[in-house]
Amino acid sequence: MTDIAIIVLAAGMGTRMKSAMPKVLHRVAGRSLLGHVLHAARKLKPSQAVVVVGPEMQSVFREAQSVFPAVRQAIQAERLGTGHAVSMARQVLEGFSGTVIILYGDVPLIRTESLEQLAGLAGKGVAVLGFEAANPHGYGRLIQDAAGDVLRIREELETNPEERSVRLCNSGIIAIDSALLWALLPRLGNTNAKGEYYLTDIVELAASSGITCRLAVCPEAEVAGVNDREQLSGIEATLQQFYRSRHMLNGATLVAPETVFFSADTHVGRDVVIEPNVVFGPGVVLGDGVHILAFSHIEGAQVASGARIGPYARLRPGAEIGEDAHIGNFVEIKKSAIGQGAKVNHLTYIGDARVGALTNIGAGTITCNYDGFDKHLTVIGENVFVGSNTALVAPVTVGDGASIGAGSVITRNVPADALAITRAELELREGWAKRYREMKAVRKAARKSK
Ligand code: UD1
Ligand code: MG
């Protein structure tokens, strides 16, 4: 197999997004547009990857690195066209020889299989990825010869009426032998309607050197681009539909699939049941037989098999829920491990904590993990009973088998099997309430009769 390098063009800010953030950093299914492209490309095991960014787009480069640590950047200071953008990557790819795949950072649904096919077709030459457009307006048209190879790509502004009627369009994604690419790029001109160096002209240049450009065709949806937030939501919808169906076909029950939102990396075990209105942020792993009840929000969490979450539960990053544990309504868990079979069923916040197996956390319990400056750890052992409305002021440790009385504020460590209780003494006054009511009633009557 020939070596593969990828170049991802991401220099545009995307003005139609009306955003302070570069377009390719906008997210769908919990992952940036650029992240989706790099994930698809990464599976080709490229030996080199370059992202072409605009000036002052360090954030784009950092995002690329978070997906693909070996990626390098090339900076395109002036936006002079796709051909110019690719030439910015030349120096970075110095010494590389093999197939170069050129991708767009704002075309996130591209599949690895299509890229593989494209690279295979390119061989020592060049291949473009095309699609039949429902509405070809705005796209470059692929002009074919009798054999179906691509003779040239005509940008819409440059087409004659006959070319304009062609519906086979250029996705922009191209695979090309590196030697051929660097030989042809300097020959691109910019005498065209936009005054840009069009990468697409490379096909005609190759043809004039006797190299035919091969064609791979994919569905239009796969190469849909994002220019505005409406298209962003369209891509989100496509992805969600794809993930819902994938998880169902893999053995999860989704009661109302159209109301469940996954991230690209959500891992769902078998016989998982997900009730309506559940959102999964990035980094969630659900074991087999997990039950997620309605209206839960789950992010960066691991849920072991048989656990039950919700309704109305919130699992935040670093939540690790043990086997058969129960996390109930209006409970928030952050950066905490909840032991096997433990129960945290109502109105509770557990943060920066470890809770042992079979421990029961009563309603309204709060780990006071933050002192206004630092976070502190709460460690609760196994088989502990924490009474309702307990405040655990961290750092604090509660030993195995201990009991905490309802309403306690725990500021010192509790030994194993001890009872801890902090409570003002109860005062009881027989008949007081009745006397009070009567006294008030008399006064009210006196006021009225005045
Ligand atoms: C391009 C193709 C067209 C294809 C269409 C598919 C060319 C000349 N035309 O047209 O055939 O049908 O995409 O969507 O290539 N970019 C840079 N630097 C630049 C210019 C562009 O990084 O100087 C990046 C953009 O951020 C974008 C991509 O390249 O991600 C495509 O550029 P764009 O201006 O959108 O090209 P189109 O006119 O859509
Ligand atoms: Mg475009």
pLDDT given for residue 450 in this prediction:
84
CA–CA distance, 232 with 18 (Å, rounded to integer)? 12
With helix as H, strand as E and coil as C, how does 199-248 read? Answer: HHHHHHHHHHCCCCEEEEECCHHHHCCCCCHHHHHHHHHHHHHHHHHHHH
Ligand nearest to the CA of 188: 1
The one-character DSSP state at 414 is B
Determine if ligand 1 sits within 6 Å of the CB of residue 170. yes
Is 31 in the same domain as 104? yes
Is 22 in the same domain as 146? yes
Is 275 in the same domain as 144? no
Is 162 in the same domain as 35? yes
pLDDT given for residue 59 in this prediction:
97
The answer, yes or no, to whether residue 423 has pLDDT greater than 90, is: no
Q: Which residue has its alpha carbon closest to ligand 1 atom 36?
A: 82
Q: Is residue 442 part of a domain?
A: no
Q: Is residue 433 part of a domain?
A: no
- Each residue's pLDDT tens digit, 48-57: 999 999 998 9
CA–CA distance, 186 with 215 (Å, rounded to integer)? 24
Q: Is residue 443 part of a domain?
A: no
Q: Is residue 447 part of a domain?
A: no
Q: Compute the distance from residue 184 Cα to the ligand 2 centre, in Å.
A: 23
Is 114 in the same domain as 65? yes
- Concerning whether 376 is annotated as a catalytic residue, the answer is no
Q: Compute the distance from residue 172 Cα to the ligand 1 centre, in Å.
A: 7
Is 14 in the same domain as 59? yes
Determine if ligand 1 sits within 6 Å of the CB of residue 203. no
Task: Say how many C-beta atoms besides its own lie within 10 A of residue 357's C-beta.
Answer: 18
Task: Find the catalytic residue in 267, 297, 346, 376.
Answer: 346
Is 209 in the same domain as 248? no
Domain of 377: which CATH number? Answer: 2.160.10.10
Q: Compute the distance from residue 107 Cα to the ligand 1 centre, in Å.
A: 11
From 318, 370, 324, 316, select the one nearest 344 (Cα to Cα): 324
From 393, 324, 282, 358, select the one nearest 28 (Cα to Cα): 282
Domain of 175: which CATH number? Answer: 3.90.550.10
Is the pTM value of this prediction over 0.85?
Answer: yes
Is 237 in the same domain as 206? no
Task: Please report which confidence band the pLDDT of residue 12 belongs to, taking 50, 70 and 90 as the band edges.
Answer: confident
Q: Which residue has its alpha carbon closest to ligand 1 atom 39?
A: 139
Q: Compute the distance from residue 215 Cα to the ligand 2 centre, in Å.
A: 20
Domain final residue pick, 202, 223, 244: 223
Q: Is residue 63 part of a domain?
A: yes
Minimum-distance ligand 1 atom for the alpha carbon of 80: 23
Best residue among 82, 156, 173, 231 to mutate for probing ligand 1's pocket (most ligand atoms within 8 Å of CB) is: 82
Is 42 in the same domain as 173? yes
Is 217 in the same domain as 306? no
Total tally of structural domains belonging to the chain: 2
- Each residue's pLDDT tens digit, 86-143: 999 999 999 999 999 999 999 999 999 999 999 999 999 999 999 999 999 999 999 9
Domain final residue pick, 223, 238, 267: 223
- Each residue's pLDDT tens digit, 162-200: 999 999 999 999 999 999 999 999 999 999 999 999 999
Is 162 in the same domain as 240? no
Determine if ligand 1 sits within 6 Å of the CB of residue 201. no
Q: Which residue has its alpha carbon closest to ligand 1 atom 1?
A: 172
Domain final residue pick, 195, 223, 251: 223
Ligand nearest to the CA of 102: 1
Q: What is the rounded average pLDDT of the residues 341-361?
A: 98
Is 283 in the same domain as 169? no
Determine if ligand 1 sits within 6 Å of the CB of residue 130. no
Query: Is 434 exposed, middle or buried (CB count within 10 Å of its CB: 0-12, 13-18, 19+)?
Result: exposed
Minimum-distance ligand 1 atom for the alpha carbon of 84: 23
Handedness of CA 37, 115, 147, 208 (dihedral sign): positive
Helix (H, G, I), strand (E, B) or coil at 116: helix
Element (H, E) at 31: strand 31-32
Query: Which domain range does residue 68 map to?
Result: 4-223
